[in-house]
Amino acid sequence: MLYHLQHKNHTRKDGQNAVKMAAYRSGEKLYDDRTGRTYSSGDPERVGHKEILLPDSAPRRFLDRETLWGEVEQAEKRKDSQLCREFEISLQQEFTKEQNISAARKFSQQFVDEGLIADMCFHGLDTHNPHVHILLTTRELTPTGFGKKIRKHSNNGKDWYNKKDEMEYWRESWATIVNQQFEAIEQFEEVAVPKRVDHRSYERQGLDIQPTRRIPAEEYRANNPEVQAVKQQRKFNKMYLLQRVAVLIAKRAYEKTKQKVQQILLDRKLVAESKQEFKASQQQPKYRGGLNQLIADKTRDEPKPQRAPPRRKPPDDDLGYSMS
């Protein structure tokens, strides 16, 4: 059994971007119209399940993740705007994949009933660390899109889970949902000791127990042989790909060099043939008779043009007048 629930406020002044966060958590490639950039996740296989929960008044186009968080970015005009809120919750290894999804969906539905949109992305459902990221919008919904900020709880009028007592309410709500799931399982299975989680610390529960230390991801990877094996395999694959790329580059360079050498040899052959033709032309006998003799030799065999017969003068008539 494990209880971990963390809440975060994501703001633009901290360098956050709603589309970028949604892309990382969903394992998708998303484009942001506001920044003109495309964001993507490095390892989409870690996402075991994802879904978007909409209030009844929300436009259906917000079921598309890129459209939803793109319009969130467009709705926030200030450089220090609060873009979204997030709950990061550890799931129970004792639950099946469907049971964990059902519990997270029930928790998120409380925010949807308040008029917010919940984007749930489940990571590592089949690993030692199953958890869910729940991104929540911060503005009320209108027929055209997003309206004003929702700052008050509709039930008690308090600040929307930004205060300590409000966070206590949501932490207790998650513990209640998990314990109800355990109770439902125990109705069909015989257990010696019922399993329960508590949102309170051991000190608040009056228990003299040291809390379990959260192992950082770097330390876990360094001490886990399976993770190290995967890391070594990825390193080998990377080296193999680099070698393949190097071979392809070398082949292309060789082909280009070969073409250049062939072109140079061809040029040299043409030059040599031109020189031989020039030498051969120099060895031919020269005319010693000058220009007139050269012309006579060239025109010796040419047919001479025929001259037209001369015109005869017509005879005079008897009266002595010329007929011409």
How confident is the model over 152-191, as pLDDT tens digits?
666 555 555 556 667 888 888 999 999 998 888 887 776 6
48 near 144, Cβ under 8 Å?
Answer: no
- Output the six-digit token pair for 195: 């399993």
Report the pLDDT value the prediction gives residue 203, as an integer from 0 to 100: 72
Q: With pLDDT > 70 as the criterion, what percentage of the chain qualifies?
A: 77
Euclidean distance between CA atoms 4 and 105, whole angstroms? 17
Euclidean distance between CA atoms 136 and 21, whole angstroms? 12
Report the pLDDT value the prediction gives residue 189, as an integer from 0 to 100: 73
- Output the six-digit token pair for 67: 């459209």
Euclidean distance between CA atoms 94 and 88, whole angstroms? 19
Report the pLDDT value the prediction gives residue 175, as an integer from 0 to 100: 92
Strand locations in the chain (E): 5-11, 30-32, 37-39, 47-53, 82-90, 118-123, 131-136, 139-142, 145-149
81 near 32, Cβ under 8 Å?
Answer: no
Residue with structure tokens 């259906």?
A: 60
Report the pLDDT value the prediction gives residue 213, as an integer from 0 to 100: 65
Report the pLDDT value the prediction gives residue 122, as an integer from 0 to 100: 95
> What is the rounded radius of gyration, in angstroms, for the C-alpha atoms of the chain?
45
DSSP code at position 61: G
Euclidean distance between CA atoms 220 and 224, whole angstroms? 6
Report the pLDDT value the prediction gives residue 177, as an integer from 0 to 100: 93
Per-residue pLDDT reduced to its tens digit, 189-241 = 766 667 888 777 767 777 777 766 666 667 767 777 877 888 888 888 888 88
Model's pTM, two decimal places?
Answer: 0.65
Low-confidence ranges of the chain (pLDDT < 70): 42, 152-165, 190-193, 202, 211-217, 220, 278, 281-308, 310-324
Look at phi and psi of residue 108 and say left if phi exceeds 0, alpha if psi is from -120 to 50, else beta. alpha
* DSSP β-ladder status, 5-11 and 82-90: antiparallel
Handedness of CA 296, 298, 299, 302 (dihedral sign): positive
Report the pLDDT value the prediction gives residue 109, as an integer from 0 to 100: 94
Q: Is 95 helix (H, G, I), strand (E, B) or coil?
A: coil
